[in-house]
């Protein structure tokens, strides 16, 4: 494929990536190229795993699980802390990889690597806190004179299947929490970001993570299906589309699953909101990473009394976003993952316009780059409203009644996060109680996340929660020790 006019390709843009199997980076075998959506050139080449690789990786993981579990929490935390420092040291290098492979603006890439460092640091702290309980069994007659203890034991082998939109930080979440819990992990990265994903794994290996703790298998659906179905795997953490998530669940059978499957997030702007701030925040968070975020602002509902004011301010703010070369530090909006994704977003916007909506800005693409698009008053059954657009287009609709708009927001098969701009505490509490979502952001848009706070959804947005503390619960099993005739509470004389 030839380069697009005016889009210079760095001389060292292409990166070769192997599979990490049984402690070795394996490069010989079938290869797959990743063509950058901005440069239109090959930016990385990944060695593809086959059936034998899957078998080898599973056997090595099974054997290595006990070695990883025997590491002290202090040793695991030390690895994660060193990796956090290393991530910050390599921030520009890793952000550049994200820009080349995905078209993500380099400033967003730097922000993602900052989050990787935070995720490693938080996981290190949580590694030190994995413990158990002394249970109050003497409160019941049959428990008098006895003691029950619990502790959280590693599952053994975890499988992490990661998406393209935030390949570094979402891999960090899955892999760091799994290691903090004492597991070994097999990683299946997204085909669109093999080099970025491998670079995150190398951070941990360079920080002292033992080879038994992680393996990386690049490949398509068959590799993911084979790993998901393998009896050696005790827990699967998957982030991606609902369709692929359902396929993973079918292959997994009776396994622990943490599924984050996307959304079509709503943000509500009430009549008492700071309209200028709401418009600015929605513009910044609706188009970051070209809208390719499961919590990206997609539906904005504005009280009719402030609707036109918001729409004008929002459209103006969107038009001020810098669109262009993702390697340019001034760029706000780079490319989407590929041309097909960009074409889908634009077609959905025009489909809504054909049904009576107004495109106030954007509505076109340049290759894989969607010019930030605002669609005013689309019909409620438009795909731009009903489905997950996962792109640089935002729908804006008026509402009249607060209770009604909560019902409208809930009229979706998704339920990940929502935003609410208001200073009315009664509305805040009502929305927190009534909205069918995993998280509510007040005086912010749906697109806000702290990496140490539980994150996840309901309905078709999946189940389970990400953030190291909550993920460790999924990556461990509770083991109970019952001491008959031994009491910590001085009640032996009543032992039954």
How does residue 13 score in pLDDT terms, banded at 50, 70 and 90? low
Answer whether 68's CB lies under 8 Å from 204's CB.
no
pLDDT over 60 (residue 464):
yes
State the pairing for strand pair 299-303/266-269. parallel
383 burial (CB, 10 Å; 0-12 / 13-18 / 19+) is: middle
How does residue 14 score in pLDDT terms, banded at 50, 70 and 90? confident
Percent of the chain with pLDDT over 90: 94
| Mean per-residue pLDDT, 68-72 | 97
pLDDT over 90 (residue 1):
no
Distance, in Å, from the CA atom of 480 to the CA atom of 247, rounded to the nearest integer, reads: 34
Out of 19, 270, 282, 294, which one is annotated catalytic? 294
DSSP labels, 132-175: EEEE-GGGSGGGTT-EEEEEEEE-SEEEEE--SSSHHHHHHHHH
DSSP labels, 380-411: TTSHHHHS---SSEEEEEEES-HHHHHHHHHS
pLDDT over 70 (residue 9):
no
CA-closest candidate to residue 395, choices 362, 431, 365: 362
Question: What pLDDT score does 488 carry?
Answer: 84
- Alpha-carbon torsion 445, 338, 466, 87, what sign? negative
Out of 212, 260, 388, 466, which one is annotated catalytic? 260
- Annotated catalytic residue 343: no
Q: Pull the structure tokens for residue 369.
A: 């780059």
Distance, in Å, from the CA atom of 212 to the CA atom of 481, rounded to the nearest integer, reads: 29
- Annotated catalytic residue 409: no
Distance, in Å, from the CA atom of 30 to the CA atom of 406, rounded to the nearest integer, reads: 51
DSSP 290: G
Question: What pLDDT score does 11 carry?
Answer: 52
- The angle subtended at Cα 93 by Cα 87 and Cα 94, nearest 5°, is 60
pLDDT over 50 (residue 329):
yes
Q: CA end-to-end span of the chain, whole Å?
A: 79
Question: What pLDDT score does 494 carry?
Answer: 53
Distance, in Å, from the CA atom of 296 to the CA atom of 389, rounded to the nearest integer, reads: 9
Adjacent-strand bridge partners of 34: 44
Q: Pull the structure tokens for residue 394.
A: 């935002």
Answer whether 269's CB lies under 8 Å from 449's CB.
no
The SS3 assignment for 32 reads: strand
**Cα 383 → chain centroid:** 23
Distance, in Å, from the CA atom of 136 to the CA atom of 345, rounded to the nearest integer, reads: 57
Question: What pLDDT score does 4 carry?
Answer: 44
pTM, full prediction: 0.95
Cβ-Cβ contacts under 8 Å for 27 (sequence gap 6 or more): 16, 18, 47
**266-320 pLDDT tens trace:** 999 999 999 999 999 999 999 999 999 999 999 999 999 999 999 999 999 999 9
Q: Pull the structure tokens for residue 339.
A: 């041309």
Question: What pLDDT score does 12 carry?
Answer: 53
How does residue 321 score in pLDDT terms, banded at 50, 70 and 90? very high
HSE-up of residue 290 (Cα within 13 Å, Cβ side):
32
**373-402 pLDDT tens trace:** 999 999 999 999 999 999 999 999 999 999
Backbone angles phi, psi at 425, to 5 degrees: -65, -30
Answer whether 13's CB lies under 8 Å from 325's CB.
no
Distance, in Å, from the CA atom of 381 to the CA atom of 395, rounded to the nearest integer, reads: 12
DSSP 429: H
DSSP labels, 292-341: -STTS--EEEEEGGGHHHHHHHHHHHHHTS-BS-TTSTT-SB---S-HHH
Adjacent-strand bridge partners of 374: 361, 394
How does residue 489 score in pLDDT terms, banded at 50, 70 and 90? confident
CA-based max dimension of the chain:
87
Distance, in Å, from the CA atom of 448 to the CA atom of 435, rounded to the nearest integer, reads: 17
CA-closest candidate to residue 496, choices 137, 138, 142: 142
CA-closest candidate to residue 38, choices 138, 86, 105: 105
| Mean per-residue pLDDT, 224-252 | 96
Question: What pLDDT score does 144 carry?
Answer: 92
- Alpha-carbon torsion 183, 188, 189, 194, what sign? positive
Answer whether 299's CB lies under 8 Å from 265's CB.
yes
Question: What pLDDT score does 10 carry?
Answer: 53
Distance, in Å, from the CA atom of 164 to the CA atom of 482, rounded to the nearest integer, reads: 46
| Mean per-residue pLDDT, 180-208 | 98
Does 360 or 12 have the greater pLDDT score? 360
How does residue 490 score in pLDDT terms, banded at 50, 70 and 90? confident
Distance, in Å, from the CA atom of 397 to the CA atom of 404, rounded to the nearest integer, reads: 13
**15-26 pLDDT tens trace:** 999 999 999 999
**154-171 pLDDT tens trace:** 999 999 999 999 999 999
């Amino acid at each position: 494929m030839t380069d697009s006019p005016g889009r210079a390709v760095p001389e060292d843009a292409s990166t070769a990536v192997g599979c990490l199997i049984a402690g070795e980076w394996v490069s010989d075998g079938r290869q797959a190229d990743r063509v950058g959506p901005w440069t239109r050139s090959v930016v990385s080449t990944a060695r593809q795993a086959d059936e034998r690789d899957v078998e080898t990786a599973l056997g090595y993981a099974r054997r290595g699980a006990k070695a990883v579990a025997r590491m002290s929490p202090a040793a695991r935390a030390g690895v994660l802390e060193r990796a956090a420092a290393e991530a910050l040291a390599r921030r520009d290098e890793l952000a550049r990889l994200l820009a080349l492979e995905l078209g993500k603006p380099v400033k967003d890439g730097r922000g993602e690597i900052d989050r990787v460092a935070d995720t490693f640091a938080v996981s290190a702290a949580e590694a030190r806190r994995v413990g158990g309980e002394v249970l109050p069994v003497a409160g019941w007659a049959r428990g008098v004179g006895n003691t029950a203890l619990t502790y959280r034991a590693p599952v053994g082998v975890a499988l992490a299947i990661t998406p393209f939109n935030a390949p570094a930080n979402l891999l960090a979440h899955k892999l760091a929490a799994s290691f903090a819990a004492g597991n070994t992990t097999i990683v299946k990265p997204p085909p669109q970001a093999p080099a970025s994903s491998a670079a995150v794994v190398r951070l941990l290996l360079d920080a002292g993570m033992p080879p038994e703790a992680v393996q990386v298998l690049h490949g398509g659906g068959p590799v993911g299906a084979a790993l998901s179905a393998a009896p050696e795997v005790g827990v699967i953490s998957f982030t991606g589309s609902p369709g692929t998530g359902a396929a993973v669940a079918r292959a997994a059978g009776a396994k622990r699953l943490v599924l984050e499957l996307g959304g079509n997030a709503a943000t509500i702007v009430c009549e008492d909101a700071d309209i200028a701030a709401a418009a600015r925040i929605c513009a910044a968070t609706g188009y970051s990473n070209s809208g390719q975020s499961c919590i990206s602002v997609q539906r904005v509902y504005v009280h009719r009394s402030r609707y036109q004011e918001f729409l004008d301010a929002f459209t103006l703010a969107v038009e001020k976003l810098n669109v262009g070369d993702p390697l340019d530090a001034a760029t706000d909006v780079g490319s989407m993952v590929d041309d097909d994704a960009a074409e889908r977003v634009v077609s959905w916007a025009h489909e809504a316009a054909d049904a009576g909506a107004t495109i106030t800005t954007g509505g076109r693409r340049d290759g894989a780059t969607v010019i930030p698009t605002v669609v005013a008053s689309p019909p409620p059954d438009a795909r731009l409203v009903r489905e997950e657009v996962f792109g640089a287009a935002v729908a804006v609709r008026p509402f009249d009644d607060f209770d009604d708009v909560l019902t409208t927001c809930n009229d979706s098969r998704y339920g990940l996060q929502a935003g609410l701009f208001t200073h009315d505490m009664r509305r805040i509490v009502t929305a927190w109680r009534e909205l069918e979502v995993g998280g509510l952001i007040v005086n912010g848009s749906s697109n806000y996340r702290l990496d140490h706070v539980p994150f996840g959804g309901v309905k078709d947005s999946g189940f389970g929660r990400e953030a190291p503390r909550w993920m460790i619960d999924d990556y461990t099993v509770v083991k109970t020790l019952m001491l008959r005739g031994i009491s910590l509470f001085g009640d032996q004389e009543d032992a039954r």
